[in-house]
Amino acid sequence: MKIITWISAIFLGLGTSLAITAMSLASTPESLYSTTKIIGLDQIVGIQYFKESDYSDRVEGLYAGYVASLEDANTMYLSAEKAQIYKMQQQGQEKGVGIKFSWGISSQYLVVTEVIENSPAYFANIAVGDRILQIDDTLCMLSNELEIYEKLTYTGEDSVIYTIQKQDKSITEVPLIPTYITYTSVKTQILDEDIGYIEVINLNTGSTDIIKNQIESFKYRGVNSFILDVRYLDDAKFEEVVLLTDLFMDDGIMFSSVDKQGKVIEYASTTSKINNQVAILTNSTTAGTIEIMVEALKPDPSIFIVGNSTKGIGTASEFIELDDGSALIISTKQLYVDNLEQSPIEPEVVVSLDTQYTLNLVTYGTKDITLDNQITTAINILKGEDA
Amino acid sequence: MKKFFIITLITFSITTGVLFYTVDALDKTDVIDGKLNTIKDELDSRYIGEIDPLKLEEGIYKGFVAGVGDPYTSYFTPSEFTTFMESTTGIYAGIGVQMMLDKTDNSISIIEVFENSPAQKAGILPKDKIIGADDTKLDGDDFEIVPDLIKGKEGTSVMVTIYRPSEDVEIQFDIIRENVVYPSVDYKMLEEDIGYVEIRSFEELTYTQLVEGIQILENSGAKGLVLDLRNNPGGLLHIVEQIVDEFIPSGIIVSISDGKGGKQDTLATELYNDIPLVVLVNEQSASASEVLSGALKDHGRAKLVGTRTYGKGIVQTILPLIDGSAIKVTTSEYYTSSGVCIQGTGIEPDYVVELPAELMIKPNLTTEEDLQLQKALQVLISEME
């Protein structure tokens, strides 16, 4: 038989086969994805990737990627482990070593910005301003970012070795075992003699009561203007947001929600409002359900929104546990005030954090209120001076 | 004719058999199917936003590949792959800046403004932070997409909004994109007998430009060189290997290991330049810069001054798939000749000099303010004696 017949026969066979494979890489209408493609990807990654990797990690990634493709900050998939951690966080409890941190200015170390009282780090004498150079064998560098975050959020039983550089440049290795830590919802202090400053760290069940009591306590001491700092609040519980907004509003509908089925719920104020001037501090990290409170309170002439625009997430979400312990967080309600479209909420007084404040934070770990110009602007407004 | 069909059939069977052999693992995907459908049902019944089935499917492949936990291993959809290929072939022109992600305040910081670039002509300075492009507000979360927003067709304009930390001001610049090739090597005489060479990145012409530059400096009386690799994000491996070779007489330039036992060494040739050398590095010196500084340090050829380098020592391969999508996979990592794994470790300088915070936000440092350069000169002068 002629060579050319051989060759053309082989090509035809190859061509048909490849065409069918290519077609099979497209998902069929009934399936959500192409099985052949996933298996192919698994093979390629397994062979090519320079380290050993687990198929189960890739499968978990698959579920996470599926939900993440919606590009909704309030909607995500949680692995069983992460679902557990989330449930505890909702109760104000976290398992950790008690360190809050920021990246250092060269991104080659972490700076401790807070040590939670009675945490493992607290008992190990780790202080604000200390640098974390290494965790176990991993250097704290941007090139190791994912590994570092995993180690910082480790919730197992083994000890994790933190290599700490103190302010006097001495270096020590500190083994820490994560324990259950209860975070306070709220931190307060009196600024400038008569401004009650309330930093809202989390808003879980009961947090509004704590805030209400704190306000009463301030008033008792003759402090009658307040700053409510929600700049870093991105996981407020919706039911608490309703209660907190109620604290500052009189009768009437505060805001409404609508779900996928079109069902509308109106959230009405049930208590009378606090009759004091309040400055609410916001930033781009003011995100999620707390934003509807900011939007609802903005028109009130005795309430001032100060800082930078909020993130612009206008939904409330639900936590749904699946059979195998993993879970979904899904945005289920669109929140709105007066039928207006939700978008990032612009403060009435726009002021950005000074570079000095950030430089001080990443160098010394301290949050110097005197350098926090968003707070000082709020104080000036409440005192009746020009911003 | 009959034989034709038989051969076709045999080829088809073998090829298809091999390709679909993997489909035998269908058992594994049954579990995935079940769970995905549960998730889909929940989303369909509750999710308040819009659901795009195509995007969901893309998310599956993206998430699966990302599941290895490596930020550099990822899946490209067909359209993303096209954009990626276009950006590397230079079809889209830029404004002439190099950016980095600043973790301390989650912002996009400009590390370098290229000479005679549209950005420089407009008045953009190093350390400026990009906070907007046309109508889009930007912060560190948008770092990946910023090049897409800034780059475009040559001759078109883009409105770039920056924040300047040293003056605490926001400025808007209307910039016309140009397709300019920026020289990757810059050199000058510092003191009577010291030459200074800055290598910005490792491109095709970098070796030639470097050798020419050193020649000119030596002719002008340079008896020692400061080689500045600060803020150099890397580039072509074969070029940096040539540069290492230029300075070392023998031995391993770099080792590439695939993490599963395979290893490949590149060796130096005999000829080399033995001029006294001090190398400047910082936390933004990455990849090929680390190969160069690591080799010079390991061979005792030069002292390093500055701060620990970035720690990116991996090689990625792009693998296109039949349907137009592609994956980028980390396939190997670099080791210096003494066995230091660059990835996640970086190269530690012999003399650590950290710049204080105020100087780190200053756009252009004078020679006196540049403490790292001052130390390098000090070290070089004592080497030359």
Per residue in B207-223, pLDDT (tens digit) is 999 999 999 999 999 99
B312 noted as active-site residue: yes
All structural domains of chain A with their residue ranges? 2-81, 93-182, 186-382
* Residue B25 near chain A (CB below 8 Å): yes
Distance from CA of B278 to the nearest CA of A (A): 22
pLDDT at A386: 43
CA A250, distance to chain mean position in Å, is: 30
Q: Is the pLDDT of residue B53 over 70?
A: yes
Cβ contacts (< 8 Å) between A325 and chain B: which residues? none
In terms of C-beta density within 10 A (0-12 exposed, 13-18 middle, 19 or more buried), how is residue B135 classed? exposed
pLDDT at B219: 95
Strand-pair category, A110-115 with A99-103? antiparallel
Distance from CA of A65 to the nearest CA of B (A): 4
Cβ contacts (< 8 Å) between A55 and chain B: which residues? 28
B287 noted as active-site residue: yes
- Residue B198: pLDDT band with limits 50, 70, 90: very high
* Partner B, chain A 144-163, Cβ-Cβ below 8 Å: 144-147
* Partner A, chain B 339-358, Cβ-Cβ below 8 Å: 343-346, 354, 357-358
- Residue A1: pLDDT band with limits 50, 70, 90: low
Per residue in B270-323, pLDDT (tens digit) is 888 999 999 999 999 999 999 999 999 999 999 999 999 999 999 888 999 999
Q: Is the pLDDT of residue B21 over 70?
A: no
Interface residue of B51, B64, B101, B166 to substitute, partner A, most A CBs within 10 Å: B64
Distance from CA of A187 to the nearest CA of B (A): 23
Q: Which residue has the tokens 């019944």?
A: B45
State the DSSP string of B272-320. -----EEEEE-TT--THHHHHHHHHHHTTS-EEEES------EEEEEEE
Higher-pLDDT residue of A3 and A65 is A65
pLDDT at A342: 63
Task: Please compute Rg for chain A using Cα positions.
Answer: 26
* Residue B43 near chain A (CB below 8 Å): yes
What is the spatial distance between Cα A375 and Cα A364, in angstroms, rounded to a whole number? 20
- Residue A329: pLDDT band with limits 50, 70, 90: very high
pLDDT at A30: 66
Cβ contacts (< 8 Å) between B10 and chain A: which residues? 13
Per residue in A55-66, pLDDT (tens digit) is 999 999 999 999
Across the interface, whether the CB atoms of B4 and A9 are under 8 A apart is answered yes
Cβ contacts (< 8 Å) between B16 and chain A: which residues? 17, 20-21
- Residue B93: pLDDT band with limits 50, 70, 90: confident
Interface residue of A14, A53, A69, A133 to substitute, partner B, most B CBs within 10 Å: A69
Q: Is the pLDDT of residue A83 over 90?
A: yes
Q: Is the pLDDT of residue A387 over 60?
A: no
Whole-complex ipTM: 0.86
pLDDT at A374: 96
Cβ contacts (< 8 Å) between A60 and chain B: which residues? 67
Distance from CA of A75 to the nearest CA of B (A): 8
Chain pair A-B, CB pairs under 8 angstroms: 296
Q: Which of A334-338, B8-12, B364-368 comes out lowest in average pLDDT?
A: B8-12
**Across A242-252, average pLDDT:** 93
The percent of residues above 90 in pLDDT, for chain A, comes to 72
**Amino acid, res. B223:** K
Q: Is the pLDDT of residue B27 over 70?
A: no
Task: Please compute Rg for chain B using Cα positions.
Answer: 25
Top-ranked range on mean pLDDT: pick from A279-283, B102-106, B109-113, B131-135: A279-283
State the DSSP string of B330-373. EEEEEE-TT--B-TTT----SEE-PPPHHHHT-SS--TTT-HHH
- Residue B191: pLDDT band with limits 50, 70, 90: confident
Across the interface, whether the CB atoms of B282 and A1 are under 8 A apart is answered no
Write the DSSP symbol of residue A1.
-
Look at the domain A186-382 and name its fold. 2-enoyl-CoA Hydratase; Chain A, domain 1 (3.90.226)
**Pick from A21, A143, A362: CB nearest B19:** A21
* Average predicted confidence (pLDDT) for chain B: 89
Domain A93-182 CATH assignment equals 2.30.42.10: yes
Cβ contacts (< 8 Å) between B65 and chain A: which residues? 41, 45, 58, 61
What is the spatial distance between Cα B130 and Cα B164, in angstroms, rounded to a whole number? 9
pLDDT at B89: 59
Smallest CA-to-CA distance from B243 within B230, B257, B229, B256 is with B229
Bin A181: left if φ > 0, else alpha if -120 < ψ < 50, else beta. beta
Smallest CA-to-CA distance from A130 within A158, A92, A191, A171 is with A171
Q: Is the pLDDT of residue A365 over 80?
A: yes
Smallest CA-to-CA distance from A36 within B58, B59, A28 is with A28
Write the DSSP symbol of residue A30.
S
Distance from CA of A61 to the nearest CA of B (A): 4
* Average predicted confidence (pLDDT) for chain A: 91
The percent of residues above 70 in pLDDT, for chain A, comes to 95
* Partner B, chain A 85-144, Cβ-Cβ below 8 Å: 102-108, 138-139, 141-144
Contacts of residue A229, defined as CB under 8 A and 6 or more positions apart, other chains included, come to A197, A198, A199, A200, A281, A375
**Across B355-376, average pLDDT:** 90
pLDDT at A286: 95
B137 noted as active-site residue: no
In the set B312, B332, B337, B370, the catalytic residue is: B312
What is the spatial distance between Cα A49 and Cα B189, in angstroms, rounded to a whole number? 46
Mapped onto helix, strand or coil, the DSSP state of residue A131 is strand
Return the half-sphere exposure (C-beta side, CA atoms, 13 A cut-off) of residue A229: 21
Per residue in B152-183, pLDDT (tens digit) is 888 999 999 999 998 889 999 999 999 877 78
